[in-house]
């Protein structure tokens, strides 16, 4: 790696926070500090000379599917011939994944170039009122803004980090369109304990006179989203948030991300892409929104190409390690996303004839029981499906190159992995055989290869789920085995 890039990574990692700082940040987020947090980000933006009005932005919040929706949206717009920027989090293997230009992670050279522009620009303009560098996520958000403005990107697709109302990305003054994907209980220590509270935070991205869309939501969440839409959007014809359902005309349409749930994400991506395209082409968005209705006319050939050719690693991804050994990777880490993940894995043709293995872990802010229960529920709901897990592993995230974020948020890791295994055993169900605790990801892969050798006449399918950090670690290690995706 170039030294400038290596030095940039070292400097970036100094912006990580210890547990005390993280807890203080959480407490700040849970109080009404929206104005002060926004003012801090505006200060950084101004010191860097970034004109956010130069960016044509699509802003997406949500609990599950927001990354997939952003990836689908970016791909649709790129296949219509526009230069795109995509900002997402977290990354799986390289931090450069968070900032993509025309579908590709920013190069090491460009990352280093822009990193030092931002770093030196902020370091040289410190004041008594603002003496500190921004934290890790906020810095990367500023870096993305700098990259996309100077690279003259046509469309910026911006994924919220956590929540929306007080997220660093919410510094943008006027996006072209905003959207909220499916909501569920996640990051409750920051966003609140109910769907109503979470919907309040997520819908904080709505802006006056900007079209707002949402996937179908539970009644309590939808009521809050509609209320916030009326309060924040206000201007006709935008004040009512448009609800985008899984559209029947997507049946038979090739979506590059597997799973029935991706139809919800694709529907939302099509709608918000269409709004952006209408405005960019000089058409009246007001008239478009007044007469808005999802129709087959939205599915032109370029949109279909964007849907089918989207690439989003670690979400419904399959990688072959050996002729009879396939790893299924999905960063599902909420109950709802695990339900979709399990349905995808168990519903594949031939699954019942395979030897199926589960590799699992989750962060210690989550409940292993909550994330494993969808496996039991699937079989309760589909008694005709004989597919079961035959083997199970609780794996650490250790891949030889450690994820700094995981280390910070998950102290006492070894004890936690054994807690996961005990929670798993306590479920006492035939769908989940007693797990083994593996030392690291290379150790798990060695065991998987042994299983495939012992069962050479059988297909071995491995589901890796529960944590994006686990999936990222697997991708890092297995790329040395077989970089070719199925």
Radius of gyration of the chain from its Cα atoms, rounded to whole angstroms: 22
* Tokens 């790129």 -> residue: 78
Buried b (16+ CB within 10 A) or exposed e, 415-443: ebbeebbebbeeeeeebbbebebbebbbb
For residues 64 and 68, what is the distance between their CA atoms, to the nearest angstrom?
Answer: 9
Closest CA to 29 of 204, 163, 149, 190: 190
State residue 326 phi and psi, 5-degree precision: -125, 135
* 391-395 and 155-159 strand pairing: unpaired
The first and second tokens of residue 466, run together, are: 């529960």
Q: Residue 421: CB partners within 8 Å, gap ≥ 6?
A: 394, 435, 436, 437
Print pLDDT tens along the chain (486 aa). Answer: 678 999 999 999 888 765 444 555 555 555 555 557 788 999 999 999 999 999 999 999 998 889 999 999 999 999 999 999 999 998 988 999 999 999 999 999 999 999 999 999 999 999 988 888 999 999 999 999 999 999 999 999 999 998 889 899 999 999 999 999 999 876 656 677 799 999 999 999 999 999 999 999 999 999 999 999 999 998 888 888 999 887 778 888 999 998 888 999 999 999 999 999 999 999 999 999 988 888 888 999 999 999 999 989 998 899 999 999 999 999 988 888 899 899 999 988 877 789 999 999 998 888 999 999 999 998 888 888 888 899 999 998 887 655 444 444 444 567 889 999 999 999 988 888 999 999 889 999 999 999 999 998 899 999 999 999 899 999 989 876 443 333
Contact status, residue 377 vs residue 341, Cβ threshold 8 Å:
no
pLDDT of residue 399: 76
The first and second tokens of residue 24, run together, are: 């203080």
For residues 28 and 186, what is the distance between their CA atoms, to the nearest angstrom?
Answer: 18
Segment 296-311, tens digit of pLDDT: 889 999 999 999 999 8
Contact status, residue 360 vs residue 421, Cβ threshold 8 Å:
no
pLDDT of residue 486: 37
pLDDT of residue 411: 47
The first and second tokens of residue 190, run together, are: 């920051």
Segment 350-409, tens digit of pLDDT: 777 899 999 999 988 889 999 999 999 988 888 888 888 999 999 988 876 554 444 444
* Tokens 């400038």 -> residue: 4
Contact status, residue 331 vs residue 473, Cβ threshold 8 Å:
no
Number of alpha carbons in the 13 Å side-chain half-sphere of residue 279: 19
User: Percentage of residues in the chain with pLDDT exceeding 70?
Assistant: 90
pLDDT of residue 408: 46
For residues 99 and 116, what is the distance between their CA atoms, to the nearest angstrom?
Answer: 15
Catalogue all structural domains in the chain, each as residue range(s) with its CATH number: 3-308 (3.40.1190.10), 315-478 (3.90.190.20)
For residues 331 and 341, what is the distance between their CA atoms, to the nearest angstrom?
Answer: 9
pLDDT of residue 26: 54
* Tokens 């569920």 -> residue: 184
pLDDT of residue 404: 46
For residues 388 and 430, what is the distance between their CA atoms, to the nearest angstrom?
Answer: 8
Q: At what angle do helices 301-308 and 262-280 cross, to 10 degrees?
A: 140
For residues 86 and 158, what is the distance between their CA atoms, to the nearest angstrom?
Answer: 6
């Amino acid at each position: 790696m170039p030294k400038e890039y290596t030095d940039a990574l070292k400097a970036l990692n100094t912006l990580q926070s210890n547990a005390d700082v993280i807890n203080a940040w959480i407490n700040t987020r849970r109080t009404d500090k929206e104005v002060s947090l926004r003012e801090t980000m505006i200060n950084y933006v101004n010191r860097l000379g970034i004109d956010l009005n130069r960016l044509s932005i699509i802003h997406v919040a949500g609990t599950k599917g927001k990354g997939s929706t952003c990836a689908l949206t970016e791909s649709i717009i790129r296949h219509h011939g526009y230069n795109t920027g995509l900002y997402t989090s977290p990354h799986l293997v390289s931090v450069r994944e968070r900032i993509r230009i025309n579908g590709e992670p920013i190069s090491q050279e460009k990352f280093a170039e822009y990193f030092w522009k931002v770093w030196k620009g902020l370091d040289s303009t410190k004041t008594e009122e603002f003496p500190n560098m921004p934290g890790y996520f906020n810095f990367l958000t500023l870096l993305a803004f700098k990259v996309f403005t100077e690279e003259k990107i046509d469309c910026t697709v911006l994924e919220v980090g956590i929540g929306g109302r007080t997220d660093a990305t919410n510094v943008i003054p006027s996006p072209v369109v905003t959207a909220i994907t499916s909501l569920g209980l996640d990051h409750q220590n920051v966003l609140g304990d109910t769907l109503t509270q979470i919907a309040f935070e997520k819908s904080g991205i709505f802006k006056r006179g900007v079209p707002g869309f949402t996937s179908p939501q539970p009644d309590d969440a939808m009521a809050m989203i509609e209320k916030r839409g009326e309060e924040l959007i206000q201007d006709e014809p935008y004040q009512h948030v448009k609800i985008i359902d899984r559209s029947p005309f997507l049946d038979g349409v090739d979506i590059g991300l597997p799973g029935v749930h991706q139809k919800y994400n694709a529907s939302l991506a099509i709608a918000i892409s269409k709004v952006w395209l209408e405005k960019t082409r000089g058409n009246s968005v007001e008239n478009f929104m007044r007469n808005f209705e999802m129709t087959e006319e939205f599915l032109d050939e370029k949109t279909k190409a964007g849907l089918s050719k989207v690439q989003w690693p670690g979400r419904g991804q399959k990688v072959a390690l050996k002729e009879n050994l396939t790893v299924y990777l999905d960063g599902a880490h909420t109950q709802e996303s695990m339900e979709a993940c399990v349905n995808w894995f168990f519903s594949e043709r031939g699954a019942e004839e395979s030897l199926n293995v589960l590799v699992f872990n989750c962060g210690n802010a989550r409940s292993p029981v909550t994330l494993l229960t969808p496996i039991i529920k699937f079989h309760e709901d589909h008694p005709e499906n004989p597919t079961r897990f035959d083997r199970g592993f609780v794996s650490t995230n250790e891949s030889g190159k450690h994820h700094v974020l995981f280390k910070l948020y998950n102290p006492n890791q070894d004890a936690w992995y054994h807690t996961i295994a005990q929670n798993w055993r306590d479920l006492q169900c035939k769908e989940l055989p007693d797990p083994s605790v593996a030392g690291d990801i290379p150790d798990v892969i060695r065991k998987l290869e042994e299983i495939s050798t012992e069962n050479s006449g059988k297909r071995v399918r491995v589901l890796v789920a529960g944590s994006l950090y686990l999936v990222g670690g697997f991708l890092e290690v297995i790329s040395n085995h077989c970089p070719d995706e199925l």
